[in-house]
Amino acid sequence: MQIDPSIKSRPKYVAPELVASAGLQLFVSESDAGHLLEPLYRQCSESGAQWLVAEPGNAPGTLADSLSGYLQRVLSDAPVTTRLYVAGSEGFLWDIRNQALSAGLVDEQIQLAPPVTKARRLFCTHCYTLMEGVTSSPHTCSGCGRLLLVRDHFARLHGAYVGVQINAEDPEEQLEQEVLQ
């Protein structure tokens, strides 16, 4: 199978910049990614800014309940002029972004910092299992055991890259491992 290396769906990330006029400056990060938002946070007045921190390594596809519930409450009281800055692993960024969208925010209000690791969240297109921290391809699905090619195709809804079985014809075939960039 030929995979186009310039595949469009892979998100591009740039370092967030503070949007000075905002009714609420909201920062959300995993605990090991705070340094990416720190300089922005320091430019804000205390009254207009809030920071929520999560422990990294949550269950795939679900934010820790406590953070998710708290974010929900913050967003439901937030003004339309809210700006949201997110830092952490790639899956986390998109979980937060998706939760913000369902609270009514639009992408224009949300900035995602470059992910702190190259590890990917992987979505098995055969059994729909989500796996965290995938660093090389192919990868054996923890759900169905198939050997998955990790594609650059990114599903925003899951915050995950798509994995498709690579050795369907000959499950015995050995394949070279490639480190993901």
Partner 1 sequence: MSIDSIPVRVMAIEQVAPLIREFKLEAIEGKLPAFSPGSHVQVIMPGEAREIRNAYSLCSDPAMPRRYSIAVRLQEDSRGGSSFMHGEVNVGDELAITPPANLFAPVMAARKHLLIAGGVGITPFMSYIPELKRQGAEFELHYLYRGSQTGAYLDQLQQQLGSALHRYDSGQGNKCDLSTVLSDQGPGTHVYICGPESLIEGVCSTAKALGWPESLIHYEAFAAPEPGEPFKAQLTRSGKTLDVAADESLLEALEREGIAVPNLCRGGVCGQCATPVIEGAVEHRDEFLSADEKANGGCIMPCVSRAAGKHLTLDI
Exposure class string for 2-24: b at 16+ Cβ within 10 A, else e? eeeeeeeeeeeeeebebeeebeb
Q: Which of 106, 172, 176, 179 binds partner 1 (CB under 8 A)?
A: 106
CA gap 56, 63 in Å, rounded: 10
Does 17 participate in binding partner 1 (rule CB under 8 A)?
no
Element at 25 (helix H, strand E): strand 24-30
Of 142-171, binders to partner 1 (CB under 8 A) are: none
CB closer to partner 1, 80 vs 144: 80
CB closer to partner 1, 81 vs 136: 81
Does 23 participate in binding partner 1 (rule CB under 8 A)?
yes
Q: Which of 58, 82, 99, 137 binds partner 1 (CB under 8 A)?
A: 82
CA gap 181, 177 in Å, rounded: 13
Does 49 participate in binding partner 1 (rule CB under 8 A)?
no
CB closer to partner 1, 22 vs 166: 22
Identify whether the C-beta of residue 28 lies closer than 8 Å to the C-beta of residue 40: no
Does 99 participate in binding partner 1 (rule CB under 8 A)?
no
Other C-beta atoms lying within 10 Å of the C-beta of residue 73: 9
Q: Which residues bind partner 1 (CB under 8 A)?
A: 19, 21-23, 75-83, 103-106, 108-109
